[in-house]
Amino acid sequence: MMDMSRDKELYERARQEMRLSEKILAEIPGFRGYKEKELRRESDRLIRDHTYKRLLGARDDLKEIFQRLSDHRLHEALTEMDRLVMSLDRVTEKINHASYGYTGFFNVLKVKEEKLDKMISFDAGLIDHAERICQEVNIFKDEIGKASFDKTLDHIKNIRVSLDALEDLFDSRREIILEG
């Protein structure tokens, strides 16, 4: 997971970007807490949008790799590559279509600021996992670009493991919301 200083940095960046009128209103009793929660929800949205876009790039790269493997008639890897691309697409869309700021849960639960911070920290961990996947895909793409196919099945396996870890992390987010 990401370190707390990076989480605070994201939150502070969103907070600093408030318009002057919002800063004044943030000082009105009662309004400040509301605005703080909105900033945290916006941070959550930004984190998951970033993760989604990074994973889309990785998916496009995997499709390009798939085509190169097909062109070189590496049939033994194509089935696994196809499954990997489909899995990445599914996980990417799961992240994309998740409720921003956990709005569905805000209707049912009173969520305290500490829990909002914890959710942002959790979602920030998604960035770390997505970056790991992107790095692995880039290494794989570079090797395929050099017509080096020796480690193809290893790369597919490693990316699959990282993708499964990302999906497990993402699926566990509901527990953070519901924990007492």
Q: Please give, one letter per residue, the 3-state secondary structure of 22-67.
A: HHHHHCCCCHHHHHHHHHHHHHHHHHHHHHHHHHHHHHHHHHHHHH
For residue 46, give its domain range. Answer: 4-178
Q: What share of the chain is helix, strand, coil (3-state, %, to 5)?
A: 85, 0, 15
Task: Give the chain's domain count.
Answer: 1
Phi, psi of 19 (to 5 degrees): -70, 160
Residue 107, pLDDT score: 44
Judging by beta carbons within 10 Å of its beta carbon (0-12, 13-18, 19+), is residue 115 exposed, middle or buried?
middle
Q: How many Cβ atoms sit within 10 Å of the Cβ of residue 134?
A: 17
- Whether 39 contacts 11, CB under 8 Å: yes
pLDDT for position 6: 65
DSSP 3-state of 110: coil
Q: Specify the DSSP class assigned to residue 99.
A: P
Digit-by-digit pLDDT tens for the chain (180 residues) are 445 566 667 666 666 665 555 655 556 555 555 566 676 677 777 888 889 999 999 999 999 999 999 999 998 899 999 999 999 999 999 988 876 544 444 444 455 666 666 777 777 788 889 999 999 999 999 999 999 999 999 999 999 999 999 999 888 876 766 665
Residues composing the chain:
180
- Cα distance between residue 133 and residue 127, in whole Å: 10
pTM exceeding 0.75: no
Report how far apart, in Å, the C-alpha atoms of 1 and of each of 28, 59, 129 are: 35, 23, 8
pLDDT of residue 44: 73
* Distances from the Cα of 158 to the Cα of 56, 70, 88, 92, angstroms: 18, 20, 13, 18
pLDDT of residue 130: 94
> What's the confidence (pLDDT) of residue 168?
92
Would you say 130 and 52 are in contact if contact means Cβ atoms under 8 Å apart?
no
